[in-house]
Structure 1
Amino acid sequence: MDPFIYLLPSALNQKKLQKTLPDTPPYKISYGQDEQQEGVLLDTFDAEVFQSAKILFQHGDMLLLIDLQSGRLLQQAAPETWSFAGDLPVGPVTAFLQQLSKLRAFLPVASVGLCRLHGLLLDDEGKTRARLHHLTICHGRKSVGIGITEYLRGYRKAHDDLRHSLERIGAISCQSVGQVYRVLAIKQGKYTAKPVIELHPEAPVKDTTRTIISVFLQTARANEKGLVDDYDTEFLHDYRVSLRKVRSVLSLFTGVYSPEETAQLKKDFSSLMQKTNALRDLDVYLLNKLHYFSLVPADTHEGLAILFDYLAEQRKKEHSDVIKVMRSKSYRKEIGRLEKIFTNGSNLATGPKAEEHSMAFACRLICKRYDKVCKIARDIDAQTEDGAIHQLRINCKKLRYLMEFFTPLFPEDEIVSLIKALKILQDNLGNFNDYSVQQTSLRHILQEKMSEFGSAKLKVAESVGALTAILHRLQKKERRQVMKNFARFDSPETRAAFTKLFHTPQIEEGVDENNSLLQ
């Protein structure tokens, strides 16, 4: 039997609850209450705990997790200061948080007061018929109670009686964290790295372009504070992905803006991204530290540890440089100028495709890019140079971006299914590229940075050599997988789905004079 998960807008009146219980049998509720404690409500920047219909609190050295879907209440010991799930000792809350997010920091959302109450519903013989777990949460002058009833096998009626009595004193079903936030006047974080953008099929593509770029600029800017404060590496990752998507729009939406305007805007956004290139490269290495150690023999671990200590120090320096950039007047002026350009849009020099309907434009670009992906992939065999694999990766990324940009214009289930099919191939190509980039970086360290390691340079060189050899083998393995994954992506079913969703005769000419795409 499901528990009753409830919200009580007022304080739990124990005497009132007792009076609402049926006279037969003569129930009694026995309570055990904790003292009120100061605590903090925690979540990630993108509200992953909130989105999973759970609430996470810390009070002192204890974590408390409430699941509003299942009614489970988990708790465990925790250090008073921690950021990531990996910082926590083994326990039920840790297990959930690691599954939820290994990369994001759990940050304070609000300071709260917490008071827990445990109740046993007893019959006239003193036997427990049901249990009650109630938590009073205070935030400023607001307070709310959330609770969970626990059914005991064989005592369904007793559990129903307890539920009905709670409802009589004002308890309502609670399955949304938003209900709790609203009562406590806690502001809900609305950040998402993948914002939903409203687009219209008949809108001129110049308007759609401006809308997409404006949204991703806002997404990039939402990450600036976290990037500077260095809460976790996802702030920089999301910042860069958002700017990369802006540059991709400018590159892929050919003819929307004049060639001169497009070239200048691409240069401006490229300049912004270049300032964080080195920091992101170091983040990728450090995030893969444990994986790298697992790849190489144990006798090379000492040298690898020295290398990663060096990389960690380099990261501190790079992050310090990025902070200076982000806080500078020149950066704020430039990013503000670009925001203003796309908020207004009137000063942008348009190109020959600016007035084309967005749906026709989207179909034409997606079909063209899909054909290019297929042409490159079908020419790849065992003797093909790695450069062709890289070109396939780049074009797959461009195809995916196009499909994601224009997703709101198409039936969601159909386009999402195609994006998932593409993602399998793209992940494979991404791994291939990552192993290539990492080998290049390691060779650079061997050629240019060994003097930094003094007497330890031989140990570091041995470790770098061992790791480079392993990465080379892994890259070859990914390459062999590329053709298998492309064969799946190039199936008759996938080709038919692309044709059905995106292809019309008008696309061949790049026009849609009869608006047939909109019928």
Structure 2
Amino acid sequence: MKTLYIVRHAKAVSRHLPIPDIERTLSERGQRDAHVMAESAYAHGPVPELMLSSSAPRAFETARVFAQVYQYPVDRIRTYTNLYHDTDTDTLLQLVQRLDDAVSTAMVFGHNPLCSDSAHGLAPTFRHAMPAGAVVCIQFYVSSWAEVAPGRGVAMWFHDPKHKLSNPMPVAPIHALQTPIMLSFQPASSFDAERFANDLQAFYPIRTESKTHRQVTYFDTFDWRLYNQSLTLQWETPHLRLHALSDNCQHDCQALSSLPKASIRASDLPAGALHQRLERVIDIRALLPLFDCTSQYATWRLLNSNDKTVIRLVIEHHTFTNAQGSSCPLTRVCLKPLKGYAQDAEHVQQWLLARGFIPSHAPLYALALAALAITPNHYTAKPQFQLAPDMPAEAAMRSMLRFLFRVMRQNEAGILNDLDTEFLHDFRVASRRARSAVGQIKGVFDQPTTLRLKQDLASLGTMTNRLRDLDVYLLRQADYRAKLPADDRAAIEPLFDLLKRDRKQALHRLKRKLQAKAYAELMTRWETFLSAEPAESAAETAPNAARSIRKIAQKRLVKLSGRVVKTGHLLLANEDDERFHELRIDCKKLRYVLEFTGSLFPQPEVATVIRHLRKLQDVLGNFHDGCVQQETLTTYAEQFQAAEAQATQQAIGQLIDVLEQEKQACKAAFAKRFNAFAASVEGKNQPWKRIKT
């Protein structure tokens, strides 16, 4: 485990003084606040082994105050100018990721917005602003700082100088991240309950109040949609409960006779608050079981000399079991202070600490993930490439393709088990991105390799087309019904029944292909090739292999954006359905190249281009989808020519007419979307043109 403190410098002298901002020092109040916060942090968490600070005086002075409290040598505080000058959260993240793994706890002193934005990004449960002097403690259940990433941290406690402590317990979380009803400790070694009770009875008589047992299964989607909203879903017969991750506070609950199946979709649940809340968060993704937690709780009452209960201790024994059957035990001793007996609570607390117990503020859910080596947000289908401008194009291409092939691999099991339709969608998008990368960033591999890679990726698209098309139609059932008059909606149901039968057959065919030897050999062949070091002779057969990726990307982006603008202007002058399709393809190529190489060019200009391009693609994509749906529905209508099926055929005809109206609406919206995009890339606006290579 790694612990990171993020500290915003304490209050500085007025920014209106006639001195440069970087030279501002702490005010008298700032000095006082820094001492208060340092003392508070010292009492509530592990001691930092390394302190890092912005080079600005107000940040370094704050660090120096903390160093004095922690007895940390001031000359060992590392200073970094970019912690002052940069506001990008990657600045702090990259600094942390490079820390020596011999360090378990680090403390960083900086400025806003870098401090607040970094804390919010690293710990999904943290939602507070960070005023001057604020401290947040974040823990990461990782073995290496290099594994620290956005969304992987758990905010343990937070405090700012204006907040008055309502709970004097030194190990209590000091702000409203969680308001605990008990303080938790983990034994440093194996736990012997009988010996523990005997030792404690030297100070307090013990009475066993109750013993309880729980069996809970935790769920989340494959891409961690609940976790990223700071939520957990728990099944404990007969209730399905949605809880806040930070404080385990219940949001919604639904009583069920049993779970619908091993995986849960929002549509499987009865109508109600839980259904609505989950649908907003997970959309069409399935909730999959993460792990089971079997728990035993023994509640003890600690008595004083008058036989009055002064403290409750809860001895928790948990066993976490993942889907593969691996189990991990965990014991916690939870101290529940009682009003009026703070001195006894302090005494027991110090007794636990003296016996080597470790304060544990992490939610049980987070402890389970760490124990089972389950990494939240281990999966993302969205490319987030950070390429060096002078990186050889072949090395950059291998990096991109390795990521995309890994995404495809990660989705195979979900497709085979038919967990939800997004597994196939992400698989197909990754294969299309890979094919586009090979087609757009040219001359990086030799010609035979390039041709074979294109052919293999095209075959993956072909074998998944039919199932994806059927998925799309079935996902639009509610939309199709809504497009029809209420009296005609029942007539469309036979179409959905036919689509479901066809989907079952298409899924069976795809499963056979994914499990075939040819597919396994294809994927293994490319993964082996991509993981190998580039050959020194590559430049002889691949002219762009050694060129910088930015030079190649710049040239390609100029050409693609120019082609999109030219075709768009032609469409404004003369509408043509086929040209709409051509423009859609060119926009997709441009979008993919931007996704791969956007980090090489000025931000946020690239983000502006992508935003306008995405809106343009929405219009073009909706138009194209309407055309394809009309063709497909026309084909299906031919299967309902019998007299008893004419109502279904007529309903399909009505759908086709509605789709035609929507296509015309897309054409009407095209000019606005295209002009906004064109303005972002024409003339001097192109962010890739302003870079000299």
Q: Which protein has the bigger helix share?
A: 1
Partner of 1:386: 577
Counterparts of 1:456-495 in structure 2 under 5 Å?
A: 456-491=644-679, 495=682
Partner of 1:318: 506
1:384-424 per-residue CA deviation (whole Å, 9 max, x = no partner) reads: 11122222211111111111111343456443343223212
Q: CA–CA distance in 2 between the matches of 1:409 and 1:7?
A: 47
The partner residue of 2:234 within 57, 65, 88 is 57
Structure 1 residue identity aligned to 2:455: K
Structure 2 residue identity aligned to 1:80: L
Partner of 1:371: 562
1:44 aligns with 2:212: no
Deviation at 1:246, TM superposition (A): 0.9
Counterparts of 1:182-261 in structure 2 under 5 Å?
A: 182-183=370-371, 185-186=373-374, 188=376, 190-261=378-449
Specify the SS of the correspondent of 2:242: strand
Point out which structure has higher relative CO (alpha carbons under 8 A, 6+ apart). 1
Structure 2 residue identity aligned to 1:365: R
Specify the SS of the correspondent of 1:464: helix
CA-based RMSD? 4.3
The partner residue of 1:105 within 279, 283, 286 is 286
Counterparts of 1:363-512 in structure 2 under 5 Å?
A: 363-381=554-572, 383-410=574-601, 413-447=604-638, 449-450=639-640, 454-491=642-679, 495=682, 498-499=685-686, 501-504=687-690
In the alignment, is the contact (CA less than 8 A) between 1:68 and 1:174 conserved in 2?
A: no
Q: CA–CA distance in 2 between the matches of 1:8 and 1:174?
A: 10
1:201-229 per-residue CA deviation (whole Å, 9 max, x = no partner) reads: 21211221122112211211111111011
1:290 aligns with 2:478: yes
The partner residue of 2:255 within 67, 77, 89 is 77
In the alignment, is the contact (CA less than 8 A) between 1:210 and 1:343 conserved in 2?
A: yes
Deviation at 1:479, TM superposition (A): 1.6
Structure 1 residues not aligned, in runs of 5+: 21-29, 120-130, 506-515
In the alignment, is the contact (CA less than 8 A) between 1:144 and 1:184 conserved in 2?
A: no
Deviation at 1:316, TM superposition (A): 0.4
In the alignment, is the contact (CA less than 8 A) between 1:4 and 1:148 conserved in 2?
A: no
Partner of 1:276: 464
In the alignment, is the contact (CA less than 8 A) between 2:394 and 2:546 conserved in 1?
A: yes
Partner of 2:269: 88
Deviation at 1:176, TM superposition (A): 10
In the alignment, is the contact (CA less than 8 A) between 1:439 and 1:471 conserved in 2?
A: yes
Q: CA–CA distance in 2 between the matches of 1:208 and 1:430?
A: 29
Specify the SS of the correspondent of 2:218: strand
Structure having the higher Rg: 2
In the alignment, is the contact (CA less than 8 A) between 2:602 and 2:688 conserved in 1?
A: no
Give the count of matched residue pairs. 487
**1:208/1:186 Cα in 2 relative to 1: closer, same or farther (>3 Å)?**
closer
Deviation at 1:116, TM superposition (A): 7.8
In the alignment, is the contact (CA less than 8 A) between 1:9 and 1:183 conserved in 2?
A: no
In the alignment, is the contact (CA less than 8 A) between 1:223 and 1:238 conserved in 2?
A: yes
Q: CA–CA distance in 2 between the matches of 1:427 and 1:148?
A: 55
In the alignment, is the contact (CA less than 8 A) between 1:217 and 1:243 conserved in 2?
A: yes
Deviation at 1:488, TM superposition (A): 2.3
1:156-201 per-residue CA deviation (whole Å, 9 max, x = no partner) reads: x99xx99x96997754443796554114554656121124345322
In the alignment, is the contact (CA less than 8 A) between 1:7 and 1:144 conserved in 2?
A: no
Q: CA–CA distance in 2 between the matches of 1:132 and 1:434?
A: 62
Structure 1 residue identity aligned to 2:628: V
In the alignment, is the contact (CA less than 8 A) between 2:679 and 2:685 conserved in 1?
A: no
Deviation at 1:135, TM superposition (A): 8.6
**1:4/1:206 Cα in 2 relative to 1: closer, same or farther (>3 Å)?**
same
Q: CA–CA distance in 1 between the matches of 2:615 and 2:446?
A: 35
Runs of 4+ in 1 over 6 A off after TM superposition: 30-33, 116-119, 131-136, 146-150, 164-169
Deviation at 1:145, TM superposition (A): 5.8
Specify the SS of the correspondent of 1:104: coil
Structure 2 residue identity aligned to 1:321: R
1:354-393 per-residue CA deviation (whole Å, 9 max, x = no partner) reads: 2211111112211221122122222223741112222221
In the alignment, is the contact (CA less than 8 A) between 1:144 and 1:180 conserved in 2?
A: no
**1:147/1:222 Cα in 2 relative to 1: closer, same or farther (>3 Å)?**
farther
TM norm structure 2: 0.61
**1:335/1:171 Cα in 2 relative to 1: closer, same or farther (>3 Å)?**
same
1:464-497 per-residue CA deviation (whole Å, 9 max, x = no partner) reads: 10110011111111121111112222336x6578
**1:35/1:455 Cα in 2 relative to 1: closer, same or farther (>3 Å)?**
farther
Structure 2 residue identity aligned to 1:104: R
Choose 418-427 or 259-268, whichever is displaced more: 259-268
Partner of 2:369: 181
Structure 2 residues not aligned, in runs of 5+: 1-174, 201-207, 301-311, 321-326
Q: CA–CA distance in 2 between the matches of 1:291 and 1:328?
A: 36
Specify the SS of the correspondent of 1:47: coil
In the alignment, is the contact (CA less than 8 A) between 1:363 and 1:503 conserved in 2?
A: yes
1:357 aligns with 2:548: yes
